Amino acid sequence: MTSITEVARKFFEACEAGKGWQECSLYCETDATFSSQAEPLVGVKSLHEYTDWMKGLLTFVADGRYELRSFGTDDERKSVCAYGIFYGTHTGPAGPCPPTGQSVETDYVYVMDFQGEKIRHMTKIWNAGIAMKQLGWV
């Protein structure tokens, strides 16, 4: 039996590396949902969409990387939280505007809720406004 902590860690690493749904789906329910109050993610409702959004982000923030600062499991609630800091520079050819050459250092939290050994829902807590300013997008 695999622990939810192990599944969450593998998902987190795959998602943050821009592996997209193809790899991340191994750790999720097929219809896993997603929510976030961050403006760039308002229309993203499935974990499939979010993991592919991250894959796309890493095409124009090609040096995107994370520092994992905290990782905790709440067995009673079948939930795992990961707190990280994302770093990167907008250098790629795509994105919301031409490359700015500006960098970002932004805090975020993933709250992954489980059904059995698979993620059924994930919430991303992130102040996107500050990140967008750092990148020169607003």
Give the integer Cα–Cα distance in Å for 42 and 69: 26
Q: What is the pTM of this model?
A: 0.95
Give the integer Cα–Cα distance in Å for 35 and 23: 20
**pLDDT tens digits for 15-26?**
999 999 999 999
Give the integer Cα–Cα distance in Å for 12 and 32: 15
CA distances for 102 relative to 8, 59, 95, 97, angstroms? 31, 15, 13, 12
- 63 has a pLDDT exceeding 80: yes
- 1 has a pLDDT exceeding 90: no
Across the range 44-54, mean pLDDT stands at: 98
Q: How many helices (H) and strands (E) does the chain have?
A: 4, 5
Instruction: Give the domains, in start order, of the chain with CATH numbers.
Output: 4-134 (3.10.450.50)
**pLDDT tens digits for 4-13?**
999 999 999 9
**pLDDT tens digits for 38-47?**
999 999 999 9
3-state secondary structure of 73: strand
Give the integer Cα–Cα distance in Å for 124 and 111: 7
pLDDT at 96: 83
